[in-house]
Structure 1
């Protein structure tokens, strides 16, 4: 494998670009290819079989494009499909799980909230992780119904979004949570709205930095880190409209290429 080959990243849509940003921040010289499977978003309402099939499709596409490592920047795809992907492909595959462990270790109120998709909350991997780290802790699990659809449409702060967030966070506020774990890579984009709604003592955490660090560790161990010699290629492909990706990546517009392609 050539160290100049790209890091491949996929998500059920645009949300995993929040993970891509963390990877690019930590590994700014790496070539990257991102697949936004927005045509099939959200994954969270699909069966485990459908999620696995879509994850295989995305993995095959990233391998075809020469990826040296694949980051599954989707909680639902990780919790439902990563074991199958690792069994079937001889390439490092990095997953993303909700940051339950740090929240459970640091909570003072002994009450934490988890906002995630139905597909993540109902998965076996999520269940095992939660049981392992939250024995003496109250956990309020909320399905973020409707959030991914709004984010995919670029609606991050409209009245409908605010109304949904107030509804989803009320049980957490009532339970006196002091940590909110974001269990979907789309959700970092609504942190500003969440901060306006939640009490000031509530800390919001996601898995982006941890995924970036793990990606670097694995590439280092395989001697696959790219040596800087030319500016990196930062490619984004979506099978739906490019509008929302352009909105979310506006700070990177001089450096990234965004294209619509069927996959």
Structure 2
């Protein structure tokens, strides 16, 4: 059991930020990453459809063998986290609570902004967690085009800047001092977001905090992997276009991907193996 990989799931490439953070903190742990690029973006889709897509992928991951599931997708977490906890016998972590904890710990004026997909914002999953703190006011904004930019490999440029101004001006005028990036795609756009919000606003993403949770849960459950064998990393996607995925994977993970194998695991996928 201890030598099984950690399973990390996202609707596309955004969850690679979480995979990178887990890899940095736990270099001896193997990782299987699956991005459901055939169905991305999840944000505009009905919650029931997101639940169907996500549970289908997670079912496959558990069947193939993982010792933990990390749902590195805010929309999917909001749609089916309770189902996942009840459905699987392995620990299941998500990215929403770690981001909330971080934001609560760093805000000075109690005015916190949240940007996310339409699905995440409509779910009010963040609102419910922040609501237990009556000293914090939450301001939210759906930013659906941000995911499109990331999935197209666009992380800078005048069009992105224009859209960022459109999305973020209202939050800036609300005098927030902390902004939660409520989608694992959004760290790709830190530069554009920071340019609009200014240096006085702290950006919070869930990647490092989620990796901390992974470490803690593995330790508490006695699931840490030994270091006698090198870790293995497998990156999979359900779509049929590897180019953008590979480009962003290399950018995020800081190393090249030597081979790409097209496979079929319930849905047609891209299996990227890195030793």
> Given the two structures, how large is their TM-score scaled by the length of structure 2?
0.88
What do you get for the CA RMSD once the two structures are aligned? 1.8
Distance apart, 1:232 and its partner CA: 1.3
Is the contact between residue 236 and residue 258 of structure 1 (CA under 8 Å) also seen in structure 2? no
Q: State the partner residue of 1:170.
A: 169
Distance apart, 1:51 and its partner CA: 1.4
Is the contact between residue 246 and residue 253 of structure 1 (CA under 8 Å) also seen in structure 2? no
Looking at structure 2, the residues matched to 255 and 151 of structure 1 have their Cα atoms a distance apart, in angstroms, of 19
Distance apart, 1:257 and its partner CA: 5.5
Q: State the partner residue of 2:255.
A: 253
Q: State the partner residue of 1:205.
A: 204
Looking at structure 2, the residues matched to 39 and 165 of structure 1 have their Cα atoms a distance apart, in angstroms, of 26
Superposed counterparts of 1:1-263, under 5 Å: 2-97=1-96, 99-133=99-133, 135-240=134-239, 241-250=241-250, 251-254=253-256, 258-261=260-263, 262=268
Gap regions ≥5 residues in structure 1: none
Is the contact between residue 52 and residue 77 of structure 1 (CA under 8 Å) also seen in structure 2? yes
Is the contact between residue 117 and residue 183 of structure 2 (CA under 8 Å) also seen in structure 1? yes
Superimposed CA distance per residue, residues 175-223 of structure 1 (whole angstroms, 9 cap, x where no aligned partner): 1111111100101111122222222111101111121111111112222
Superimposed CA distance per residue, residues 110-136 of structure 1 (whole angstroms, 9 cap, x where no aligned partner): 322111111111215333113123x23
Looking at structure 2, the residues matched to 105 and 232 of structure 1 have their Cα atoms a distance apart, in angstroms, of 33
**Matched residue SS, 2:38:** helix
Q: 1:192 to 1:216 in 2, by over 3 A?
A: same
Is the contact between residue 242 and residue 260 of structure 1 (CA under 8 Å) also seen in structure 2? no
Is the contact between residue 235 and residue 257 of structure 1 (CA under 8 Å) also seen in structure 2? no
**Matched residue SS, 2:179:** strand
Looking at structure 2, the residues matched to 153 and 166 of structure 1 have their Cα atoms a distance apart, in angstroms, of 19
Q: 1:103 to 1:217 in 2, by over 3 A?
A: closer
Is the contact between residue 238 and residue 259 of structure 1 (CA under 8 Å) also seen in structure 2? no
**Matched residue SS, 1:46:** coil
Is the contact between residue 237 and residue 259 of structure 1 (CA under 8 Å) also seen in structure 2? no
**Matched residue SS, 2:96:** coil
Distance apart, 1:258 and its partner CA: 5.0
**Matched residue SS, 1:128:** helix
Judge which range, 195-204 or 74-83, deviates more. Answer: 195-204
Is the contact between residue 70 and residue 91 of structure 1 (CA under 8 Å) also seen in structure 2? yes
Q: How many residues align?
A: 261
**Matched residue SS, 1:44:** coil
